[in-house]
Amino acid sequence: MSRDPHRAGAGRLTRTYLRVGIMNEMQYRVNFLMEMVQSLLQIGTALAVLGIVFSHTDTLAGWNRSELLAVIGVYTLVRGLVNMFVQPNMERVVTEIREGKLDYALTKPADSQVLVSIRDVRFWQITDVVVGIVVVVVALVQLRATLQPSHVASFVVMLAVGTVSIYSFWLILAAAAFWLIRINEVQELFNGLYRAGQYPVGIYPSWLKFGLTFLVPLAFAVTVPAEAATGRLSWSAAGIAVAATCVLVGFSRWFWLRGLRRYNGASA
Amino acid sequence: MIATYAAYARVSAQQQFQYRAANYFFMIGMVVEPVIYLVVWSTIARSHGGQIEGFTPGTFAAYYIVWTLVRNMNIVLTPFAWEWRIKEGQFSGQLLRPVHPIHEDLASFIGWKFVVILLWLPIAGVLSLVFRPELSPSLLQCVVFGIAIWGAYLIRAIMQWSLGLITFWTTRVGAIFDAWYLSEMLLSGRLFPLQLMPDWMQRVSWFLLCSASGSPWRSP
């Protein structure tokens, strides 16, 4: 089977859209300050809650205050990555399916899933990424953790795996619009579910833990990278995270293609 | 005016009822948050001999399950919607109508609440089966709760409407709104019962009326 010579490669396409997206965002520099204020307010609230929780206890399901601080840092960091790259694209897909405007993406000579996943970048959400990294570093200093290269490498790998799993989950949610049409509220659903990630999934009852691991992959997105950062991660947990993410990527791809077959478009 | 409110509310309820899946998406997103805190505080209570500041896992379950209703009943037109209205110029059309725009906003959300309450019942049933709440209110307490929850809706709706008016002067108000929301989250009992807060925070909460739109109950 020969490859269409006019079809754009995913790597080159991603770089081009990323560059254009960042240039676009750079025009609105005051937004950086606004996002920074919002990030600081949110982390301030999370720390206040942590303070109140730990004014009543010393450990929460085996996690001490500094370890939970690392979880909050990873939660903020992943939220920044998702808000920067994933959420704006998926919200746009949901709107375009409803309004029948997805045709504009489908008629382009590129893979539809790749194209709809890279068109928007909210670069200033990087403030959450920076704040998240700072909080993780503070937590590690409090834990007096000796930072080994293997911990850093496993943290980075698990962070990438977790972000991909969240992307796949979001793609499934967005593709549900092919059947349900009006699901503008899907972002509220995601934001609500994502909040569960600010605590390690181990504290939840077993049925909820299963749901937050295999249905909504928060365990892989937040808890596993936090375990990697604090040196609590086992090889088996890492293996399960990678395997489950591969399955999720495959399923979301299948679900997207299946949904596309139902799409009529506004001009059809 | 009552007929106007009834008309707006009826249209809104009929419209929202057509989008049950979308409404469930929205409600589940809202319900997850109290469930998280229910699990966190129940875990702490269990590790401290079964209760903390008078709250047992059963009373925490009652607090947060009632809170899922309170949370959904307190959804109002947000200042972010105002930002969109003003930026897109959508407000001009509403100003031309013979009725003040606040009435449409209040009445539409009132209509939506009836759909929300209906859809909330199965959610509350499942949560009660899972978390076993300890709650035995008297008839009078139920009546007072019913009045209080609608009053809380009005207080929050008017507060948020007033806050939204800032968008007439500047449309970049995300940070101001966030500051409001986050303080409200902390001080309204949304994250945890007010009794678990330090004394000074409880006093600030009562002074700022946050608790009026938030805390669904006060323990004796």
* Local confidence band at A8 (pLDDT 50, 70, 90 cut-offs): low
Q: Determine the Cα–Cα distance for residues A213 and A256; give it in Å rounded to an integer.
A: 21
Inter-residue contact B114 to B18 (CB < 8 Å): no
pLDDT at residue B217, rounded to an integer: 43
Written as one letter, the residue type at B203 is R
What value does the mean pLDDT take over residues A36-61?
Answer: 88
B115 touching A (Cβ < 8 Å): no
pLDDT at residue A266, rounded to an integer: 62
Better pLDDT: A266 or A199: A199
Most confident residue range from A148-152, A263-267, B135-139 = B135-139
B40 touching A (Cβ < 8 Å): yes
* Percent of chain A predicted with pLDDT > 90: 37
Pairing of β A63-64 and β A59-60: antiparallel
pLDDT at residue B213, rounded to an integer: 52
Indicate the residue of B26, B40, B191 with minimum beta-carbon distance to A188. Answer: B26
Q: Do B30 and A49 touch (CB under 8 A)?
A: no
Q: Do B26 and A189 touch (CB under 8 A)?
A: yes
Q: Do A191 and B29 touch (CB under 8 A)?
A: yes
Inter-residue contact B205 to B197 (CB < 8 Å): yes
Indicate the residue of A30, A41, A57 with minimum beta-carbon distance to B44. Answer: A57
Inter-residue contact B154 to B184 (CB < 8 Å): no
ipTM: 0.77
Question: If we measure between CA atoms, which residue out of A98, A85, A78 comes closest to residue A186?
Answer: A98
Inter-residue contact A220 to A245 (CB < 8 Å): yes
- pLDDT(A47) > 60: yes
What value does the mean pLDDT take over residues A48-71?
Answer: 89
Residues forming beta bridges with residue B55, ordered by sequence position: B52
Q: Determine the Cα–Cα distance for residues B194 and B145; give it in Å rounded to an integer.
A: 17
Q: Token digits for A179?
A: 């059947």
B52 touching A (Cβ < 8 Å): yes
Inter-residue contact B66 to B216 (CB < 8 Å): yes
Residues forming beta bridges with residue B52, ordered by sequence position: B55
Q: Determine the Cα–Cα distance for residues A230 and A234; give it in Å rounded to an integer.
A: 11
Q: Do B175 and A203 touch (CB under 8 A)?
A: no
Q: Determine the Cα–Cα distance for residues A130 and A39; give it in Å rounded to an integer.
A: 9
Indicate the residue of A55, A180, A188 with minimum beta-carbon distance to B29. Answer: A188
Q: Determine the Cα–Cα distance for residues A261 and A179; give it in Å rounded to an integer.
A: 11
- pLDDT(A3) > 60: no
Inter-residue contact A63 to B203 (CB < 8 Å): no
Written as one letter, the residue type at A220 is F
DSSP label at A2? P
Q: Classify residue B215 by burial, with Cβ atoms within 10 Å: 0-12, 13-18, 19+.
A: buried
Q: Give the Å distances, CA to CA, from A177 to A54, A97, A100, A102, A187.
A: 41, 7, 11, 12, 12
* Local confidence band at B209 (pLDDT 50, 70, 90 cut-offs): low
Chain A residues whose beta carbon lies within 8 Å of the beta carbon of residue B40: 53, 60, 199, 203
pLDDT tens profile B81-110: 888 888 788 888 888 888 899 999 999 999
- List residues of chain A with CB under 8 Å from any CB of chain B: 30-31, 34, 37-38, 41-42, 44-45, 48-49, 52-53, 55-57, 59-61, 180, 182-186, 188-193, 195-196, 198-199, 203-205, 207-208
What value does the mean pLDDT take over residues A108-125?
Answer: 89
Inter-residue contact A196 to B32 (CB < 8 Å): yes
Inter-residue contact B124 to B22 (CB < 8 Å): no
Q: Token digits for B138?
A: 């008297």
* Local confidence band at A7 (pLDDT 50, 70, 90 cut-offs): low
Min Cα separation B42/chain A (Å): 10
Q: Which residues contact B17 (CB under 8 A, 6 or more apart)?
A: B115
pLDDT at residue A192, rounded to an integer: 85
- pLDDT(B215) > 70: no
What value does the mean pLDDT take over residues A233-262?
Answer: 93
User: Which of A194-208, A219-233, B60-74, B163-177 is predicted with the least confidence, judged by mean pLDDT?
Assistant: B163-177
Indicate the residue of B19, B47, B186 with minimum beta-carbon distance to A48. Answer: B186
pLDDT at residue A6, rounded to an integer: 59
- pLDDT(A268) > 70: no
Q: Which of A35, A185, A209, A210 to mutate to test the interface with B (most CBs of B within 10 A)?
A: A185
Q: Determine the Cα–Cα distance for residues B56 and B43; give it in Å rounded to an integer.
A: 10
* Percent of chain B predicted with pLDDT > 90: 30
Chain A residues whose beta carbon lies within 8 Å of the beta carbon of residue B179: 37, 41
Inter-residue contact A191 to B32 (CB < 8 Å): no
